[in-house]
Amino acid sequence: MPSWKTQRKRALQRDNYRCRICGDTPSSPYAKLQVHHIIPRSEGGKDDMNNLATLCDLCHAVCHPHMGPAWCGVEKLPLEKQKEARMVLRWANKEFQEFLKRMIRQEL
């Protein structure tokens, strides 16, 4: 299996450097792209391309609401965007996470 760094780069390229959920790109003012494990490594997920999806930091945080706003960079957003981002994070729940997982899997 290739290294994580190699797989991460391949996932970003495959997804055209665009969030698979909201479509943000690095040229978007607040987007920071990350590579998400659809099945977490803690649950046996691998660094296989079928288990990776490019997400912006806010969509990634919705998939991992337990990580909190600091992890997804909410504090780095302008104040007017922080309120909206925190609301999105609070809204995330188990059903929404499952929906996102299904949506990402369908795209792969």
pLDDT over threshold 70, residue 88: no
Residue 62: what pLDDT?
Answer: 75
Mean pLDDT, all residues of the chain? 77
Pick the more confident residue, 26 or 3.
Answer: 3
Pick the more confident residue, 8 or 104.
Answer: 8
What are the boundaries of each domain within the chain?
Answer: 4-107
Instruction: Output the pTM of the full model.
Output: 0.63
Question: Distance between the two ends of the chain, CA-based, in angstroms?
Answer: 19
pLDDT over threshold 70, residue 37: yes
